[in-house]
Structure 1
Amino acid sequence: MDGMAGGKSSLSWAVNISVVVLVLLWLFPTVGLLVSSFRTADQIAGSGWWTAMLPQERNETLRTDRPGDLETIPQVDGVYVVEGNLFVADGRTEGGAAISAWGTGSLAIDEFVPGDTAPLDDGQAITVQENGDYVWTSPTPQEGRGQRVFTTAATPPEFTVENYDNMLFDPSNREGMTKAFFNTLTVTIPATIIPILIAAFAAYALAWMDFPGRALLIAAVVGLLVVPLQLALIPLLRLHNEIGIGKGYLGVWLAHTGFGLPLAIYLLRNYMVGLPRDIIENARVDGATDFQIFVKIILPLSYPALASFAIFQFLWTWNDLLVSLVFLIDSSGDTTVMTKQIVELLGSRGGNWEILATAAFVSIAVPLLVFFSLQRFLVRGLLAGSVK
């Protein structure tokens, strides 16, 4: 029956739907970023990633081959004829797109359909076919640049690994991203381990040791959970500058440690309180010290909570930009992290979104690996202390 112990809740369907919605909200942007990283710049600019498997219709301005590049222009019945393919002249593969409409002026880009002949100045004319083949005729030899043609063409789905090649193997990008990758690891790993070590000791003391003011300390930890990070940046930076650690890794490690400790202590303390009391009391009867109990009993049993916080702290630190910008002040770029490197890439490349999408997906590869490696402990750690 609903509401009885062991019975199935009548709201289980709502919980299942909520979980599915949350998963989709997380999954869609990630999949979109992955798909965009394999698309060309024209496709990203012309359509969303969800249409990547469909033909894309877009307007383009193409030109015929330059008559000056031809050794001789053949004559047919006294008329000079230049033949070729618009897509090949633009450096693409012939047959890659199908033209549905075309024109010779910007005000009427769909004036003609494939197979029509458009009159040009000085008695010239041009005919364009669906596959891009053209025939440009003139009573006198054609000169100058090629004839401009405005096309509306449907191109098939196209994917490329050139974005990753440019990002990972192009020397101009590889040096910056490689250095930023290792700088981010240098920031993230200590900033994840240090708060876990401190919080584990503090959580054990707050959970199993009696001392004056313990309740006040627990209340203070809970209160610190709601303190905005931005509120402490300026006074903390001034303190770091006064003691000489405001422009290096030590300062950013301590900043991440301070901002992550309240949640770590709260999460681990709730988990340790729920551990069986009999195990700890029996260990004390056998003569074990608090340190031995903590190392040999509490830590092994608290692995789910430790892994749960490690996921959160690693993700927050890896994706952080604000703390790194404030505490890693280095004009030479030797301590630039990946989030800042991507911002600089955006500033230097402007609208090259395919490179930015690739760089962003490269930056989330490590957090995804960490999350999927430890995600089985996440729910167990989040439910710490919720059931007695």
Structure 2
Amino acid sequence: MSIATRIRRVGLPRLIVHISVLFVVLLWLLPTLGILVSSLRDKDQLVVSGWWTAFSSSSQTQALRLADPATQKQEGDRFIIAGNVFENGAGGKVSAFGVRVQDPEAFPAGEAADLGDGESLVINEDGTYQYSKNASFEGSRAKRVYLAVATPPIFTLDNYRTVLASEGIGQSFVNSLTVAIPATVIPILIAAFAAYALSWMKFTGRSLIIAMVVGLIVVPLQMSLIPLLQLYNWIGNVFGVPSKTYAGIWLAHTAFGLPLAIYLLRNYIAGLPKEIIESARVDGASDFEIFVKIVLPLSFPALASFSIFQFLWTWNDLLVAMVFLGTQKDELVLTGALNALLGSRGGNWEILTASAFVTIVVPLCVFFALQRYLVRGLLTGSVKGG
């Protein structure tokens, strides 16, 4: 089947959509894959080559000196110094060598190089070498050579051990979970009750409350953060409550997340079939029973879609965590700890990539676990209303 026939069968607009989606997926996937591969690589290989070369041998230039001239042996009319360039425990495969820093790959491995003045040097792929001369080496210094060494790919979990243990990321990981999980569950619980009330319970001022909720969605976090902090500190001073607590940051995230949560859930719940609610009331069910036994199970897509957003916001938050939780080492969340590492370990890419992947692995798991409900919950909540 020709390409033109395939395009006609699929349809050009649909084909463009498929290509665009594939491009977006690759654009998102490649950096994530790069972080994961880099976090598992040996730090020496990570410095000299990109992550896309991780599964092939990498070439590095090394400078070293051959064995001491005192180890020379005479064979016939020539004096020979022999050994192995990997005697210090290093490994790899020599691809080329040279005797000048300007040309470290002047001679292929295994080929005898004529260095002039009766000197000859050959270095094999396995690192064995033979340096010979038609006169004694006595009184001369050890010969300096340069090697192009191809080393096999090395993957290790040491980067993660370092990050989770000595760099304090482990404690920050626990802190982030302690912040994100309650800060996701609390606003969902409150918003679900409020959304049901605004959808199916008739009371004075309901329309005004809905309008206020919609208006609060557009209030920037940065604008309301200082007044909220002042109110929080005032309450703490009046009642003698410590200012830097998890309860404070839970309440802050709940306040910032409630307007959108109520709006999304209210639109979704208001779109549920009216007959189901009325039948339950005819059967004598109370509002609480209707909410728990009927509305909540049917609203799971909307609850899941908002929980993804709320969890990602709270997990990736830095500003609110620094304001309400603090900046001490044992108080930092993952984003704060990663920000501190950028200042102290900015040149250690193996540490930064491992820390970054630890930061994104939990949101990835949450997203992939709930993503099938995301589009259904958002689309249904955006087109239905009561």
Shorter chain as denominator, the TM-score bin is 0.7 to 0.9
Secondary structure of the corresponding residue to residue 95 of structure 2? strand
Q: Please state if 1:240 is matched with 2:237.
A: no
For 1:288 and 1:9, the matched residues in 2 are separated by: 51
Q: CA deviation at 1:206?
A: 2.1
Provide the rounded CA distance (Å) in 2 between the counterparts of 1:142 and 1:224: 82
1:204 and 2:196 aligned: yes
Report Cα offsets for 1:49-106 as digits up to 9, x if no partner.
2232233334x233136639xxx624224876443333443x322xx23423x33343
Are residues 49 and 224 of structure 1, via their aligned partners in 2, closer, same or farther at CA, if it must alter by over 3 Å? farther
Query: Which of 317, 320, 323 matches 2:317?
Result: 320
| Residues 265 and 381 in structure 2, CA contact (< 8 A), matched pair in contact too | no
The answer as to 2:153 corresponding to 1:161 is no
Amino acid at match of 1:52: A
Q: Deviation at 1:147?
A: 4.7
Are the counterparts in 1 of residues 163 and 170 from structure 2 also a CA contact under 8 Å? no
The within-5 A match list for 1:175-324 is: 176-244=168-236, 246-324=243-321
Alignment of 1:370 with 2:370, yes or no, is no
CA distance in structure 1 between the partners assigned to 2:310 and 2:347 by the alignment = 32
Judged with a 3 Å threshold, the aligned counterparts in structure 2 of structure 1 residues 80 and 360 are, in CA distance, closer, same or farther, namely farther
Residues 270-291 of structure 1: CA deviation (Å, up to 9, x unaligned): 2111100111122223333322
Contact 1:247/1:330 (CA < 8 Å) preserved in 2? no
User: Is the 8 Å Cα contact of residues 229 and 259 (structure 1) preserved in structure 2?
Assistant: yes
Q: Which amino acid in structure 2 is aligned with residue 279 of structure 1? A: I
Aligned counterpart, 1:338: 334
Equivalent of residue 106 in structure 1, options 89, 96, 101:
101
Cα RMSD (Å): 3.1
Q: What is the Cα deviation at residue 205 of structure 1?
A: 2.0
d(CA) in 1 for partners of 2:17, 2:200: 34
Which amino acid in structure 2 is aligned with residue 133 of structure 1? T
Deviation at 1:306, TM superposition (A): 0.9
Are 2:155 and 1:172 aligned?
no
Residue 19 (1) aligns with residue 21 (2) = yes
Deviation digits for residues 296-326 of structure 1, max 9, x if unmatched? Answer: 2211211111122112211221222222222
1:33 to 32, 35, 41: 35
Q: How many residues align structurally? A: 365
**C-alpha displacement of 1:18:** 3.6
Q: Which residue of 2 aligns with 1:44?
A: 46
Equivalent-residue separation in structure 2 for 1:314 and 1:253 (angstroms): 12
Q: Which residue in 2 is equivalent to 1:76?
A: 74
Distance 1:290 1:82 in 2: 93
Deviates more, 1:340-349 or 1:129-138: 129-138
- Which residue identity is paired with 1:31? L
Equivalent-residue separation in structure 2 for 1:369 and 1:200 (angstroms): 24
Q: What letter is aligned with 1:47?
A: S
- The Cα of 1:340 is off from its aligned counterpart by 2.0
Any idea what SS the aligned residue of 1:84 has? strand
Distance 2:208 2:83 in 1: 83
Q: Residues of 2 paired with 1:150 and 1:240: CA distance?
A: 65
Shift of 1:199: 1.0
Taking the aligned partners of 1:237 and 1:377, their CA distance within structure 2 comes to: 35
Kindly indicate whether residue 148 of structure 2 is the aligned counterpart of residue 149 of structure 1.
no
Contact 2:312–2:363 (CA under 8 A) maintained in structure 1: yes
- 1:156, distance to aligned residue in structure 2 (A): 3.5
Q: CA deviation at 1:119?
A: 4.6
Q: Distance in 1 between matches of 2:378 and 2:124?
A: 63
Aligned residue type for 1:140: E
Name the SS for the 1:260 alignment partner.
helix
Paired letter, 1:188: A
Asked if 1:92 corresponds to 2:90, the answer is yes
Q: For 2:284 and 2:337, how far apart are their aligned partners in 1?
A: 54
1:220-271 CA-to-partner distances (Å, cap 9, x unmatched) read 3333333333333333333323333542212211221122212211211121
- Unmatched runs of 5 consecutive residues or more in structure 2: 1-9, 237-241
If the length of structure 2 is used for normalisation, what is the TM-score? 0.82
- Does the 8 Å contact 2:82/2:130 carry over to 1? yes
Taking a change above 3 Å as real, the CA distance of residues 237 and 148 of structure 1, as seen in their structure-2 partners, is: farther
Instruction: Give the CA deviation at 1:11.
Output: 4.1
Query: Residue in 2 aligned with 1:348?
Result: 344
Q: Give identity over the alignment, percent.
A: 56
Structure 1's unaligned 5+ residue stretches are: 1-7
Contact 1:73–1:80, Cα closer than 8 Å, also in 2: no
